[in-house]
Copies of this chain bind each other. A is one copy, B any other.
Amino acid sequence: MTRKSGVALWRQIADQIRQAVSAGTLGADGRLPPEMVLSERFGVNRHTLRSAIAALVQEGVLRAEQGRGTFVESRQKLSYPISARTRFSTGLRSQTRDRRSILLAHAVEQASQRVAEGLGLAEGAPVVRLETLSEADERPVSRATSWFDAERFPGYAEAYAETGSITLGFQSYGIEDYFRKSTLVSARHADAADLADLKLSAGAIVLVAVAVNVDTQGLPIQYAETRFVADRVELSVSTEAQ
């Protein structure tokens, strides 16, 4: 194993273990092999391997018990559906008990070129911006920034704050139904803000979904950029029966 890549050896090993565990090629029975075995398998010193395990214990991926062994903390990935009927609030309801969204901040601002394009507005048009955080089982899952046309939805932030839901927020403006038009999915390292909001450690990955929702007439009503914690979430695209 080489160093010099800018990533310490213990973190490289930690990443490999995290991945092998999630792929099921390591600790499939819930238990990791002894440190000596692992250190030989990865070709590193036991000290280095222990640093990696310590980091994963800190992250909540593993649990080490003196004299017994190291165990996998079961953490199934949340599967987030993406379809024409995608709703941010309903997608994960069945998979987790305690799920909630938190409104971190909101403001009225001028639409950037990107936002204006997504909402079909002129650049600089007034838009409402919502910053929200979603948690499942007491742990952060996603961090979203949404924009709405401020002329059509004045005070949308308040409507959202009262109802606690995007869908219910729209209902107070007479919108009974809406559809997901498009979703662009990419992935990148979490930035400083994401690291703080989503309580991640350096080097963590976020899945980024840029989505446009439209009303029944096909007019854009929401432009959103959601950052999902890649370790905890997968996106499920169903394309059958069209």
A185-B237, A186-B230, A186-B234 known; A7+B6 contact, CB < 8 A:
yes
Does A189 have its Cβ within 8 Å of any Cβ on chain B?
yes
B230 & A187 in contact (Cβ 8 Å cutoff): yes
The contact string, 1 if C-beta is below 8 Å from chain B, for chain A 19-37, is 1001000000000000000
Does A179 have its Cβ within 8 Å of any Cβ on chain B?
yes
B205 & A189 in contact (Cβ 8 Å cutoff): yes
User: Which A residues between 182 and 213 are near B, CB-CB below 8 angstroms?
Assistant: 182-189, 191-192, 201-203, 205-207
Interface size (A, Cβ < 8 Å)?
A: 51
Sample of 18 further A-B pairs with CB below 8 A, known A182-B240, A187-B207? A6-B7, A6-B203, A7-B11, A7-B202, A8-B8, A16-B191, A83-B239, A84-B239, A84-B240, A84-B242, A86-B239, A182-B236, A182-B237, A185-B185, A185-B235, A185-B237, A186-B233, A205-B205
